[in-house]
Amino acid sequence: MKPFSKINSIITPFDKANVDTDQIIPKQFLKLITKSGFGKFLFYDWRFNHDGKEKDDFILNDLHYQNSQILVTNENFGCGSSREHAVWALKDFGFDVIISPSFADIFYSNCFKNGVLPIILDIENIKKLLKFKDKIELDLQSQTINFGSESINFQIDSHRKTRLLEGLDDIDLTLKEDEKIENFEKNSSRISIFE
C-alpha cells in the first residue's frame, strides 16, 4: 500500500446523511473479480440517468471538483452492506479522505485497509468545511486540517495512523505474531468443522 502523504485539495461538499454502500456502489457492479476500475461506477444511480448520460445537477459531475481528494459528508456514511467495493470505488475515483460526523463500523474499517483516511469531526466543523471553497491542507502526521485562517485537529487511533503513514500490510504485521497464534491454537484447540 502507498504511504499516505499530505493532501492539498479542494473539498467536494456532499451534504447527505445515511449514505449507504448500495448507493456508493450499486450491486450490478459487484461482479468484478478485481479491485480496480470501480471509480466509474461510483454513485452510479445518482450520477447517471437511465440512458447512461450524466445528471447535470449531481455534484460529482461538476468539473470544478474533478481533482478533489476530499469528500465531506454527513452522519452515518457507509452504512449497510459490508462491500469493500464502496471504498475501492471512492479511492479509484480520487478520494483519499472522507470527513463525516460519523461512519458505519465496517466501512470505517475498510477505509484503512485501502489507504483511505476517514476523519470524524463534530457537526459544527463539518458545516464550516461544507461551505469552504478554497483548497485545504490536511496533514495526517500532525492530525491537522488547515483551511483559511482556521486550523482544526482530528483524532485517529495511533496504530491505524502508523499503518497509513507507512503503508504497512496488515497480514505481514500479523504474521509476526505467528507464534502467539500457534500457542493459542495449542492451548485451546478449536473445533474443526469436519472432525
Partner 1 sequence: MTETLFEKIWNSHVVVERENEPSLIYIDRHLIHEVTSPQAFDGLRVNNRKVRRPDLTVATIDHNVPTTDRSLPMIDETSSTQIKTLEKNCKDFGIKLFGINDPNQGIVHVIGPQLGITLPGSTIVCGDSHTSTQGAFGAFAFGIGTSEVEHTLATQTLWLEKPKTFEILATGKRKNSFAVTSKDIILSIIKQIGTDGGTGHVLEYRGDAISDLSMEQRMTICNMSIEAGSRAGLIAPDEKTYDYLNNREYTPKNYDELVDEWKNNLMSDPNSKFDKSFTIDVEQIEPQVSWGTNPAMVSDVTGKIPTPEDFGQNNEIQIESAKKALSYMDLKPDTAIVEIPIDRVFIGSCTNARLEDLKDAAEIVKGKTVNSDVNAMVVPGSQMVKLEAEKLGLDKIFKDANFEWRESGCSMCLGMNPDILKPGERCASTSNRNFEGRQGSGGRTHLVSPVMAAASAIAGHFVDVREWC
Complex with partner 1: residue 11 or 19, whichever CB lies closer: 19
DSSP characters for the chain?
Answer: -PPP--EEE-EEEE--SS-BHHHHS-GGGTT-SSSSS-GGGTTHHHHB-TTSPBPTT-GGG-GGGTT--EEEE-SSBTBS---THHHHHHHHHT--EEEES-B-HHHHHHHHTTT-EEEE--HHHHHHHHH--S-EEEETTTTEEEETTEEEE----HHHHHHHHHT--HHHHHHTTHHHHHHHHHHS----TT-
Which span sits near partner 1 by CB under 8 A: 2-10, 14-22, 89-97, 136-144? 14-22
Which span sits near partner 1 by CB under 8 A: 2-10, 64-72, 97-105, 138-146? 97-105
| Contacts (CB under 8 A) with partner 1, residues 159-178 | 159, 170-171, 174-175, 177-178
- For residue 153, state whether it binds partner 1 (rule: CB under 8 A): no
- For residue 61, state whether it binds partner 1 (rule: CB under 8 A): no
| Contacts (CB under 8 A) with partner 1, residues 115-144 | none
C-alpha–C-alpha distance, residues 180 and 78, integer Å = 34
Complex with partner 1: residue 9 or 73, whichever CB lies closer: 73
C-alpha–C-alpha distance, residues 25 and 35, integer Å = 13
Strand 117-120: give its sheet, edge to edge: 11-14, 70-73, 97-100, 117-120
- Residues 54 and 48: beta-carbon distance below 8 Å: yes
Q: How far is the CB of 134 from partner 1 (least distance, A)?
A: 25
Member of 62, 105, 124, 137 binding partner 1 (CB under 8 A): 105
- For residue 81, state whether it binds partner 1 (rule: CB under 8 A): yes
Convert residues 19-58 into a mask of x (bound to partner 1 by CB under 8 A) and - (unbound).
-x-xx--xxx-xxxxxx---------x----x--------
- For residue 195, state whether it binds partner 1 (rule: CB under 8 A): yes
Member of 5, 69, 114, 143 binding partner 1 (CB under 8 A): 114
Residues that bind partner 1 (CB under 8 A): 17-18, 20, 22-23, 26-28, 30-35, 45, 50, 74-76, 79-85, 87, 102, 104-106, 109-110, 113-114, 157-159, 170-171, 174-175, 177-178, 180-181, 184-185, 188, 190-195
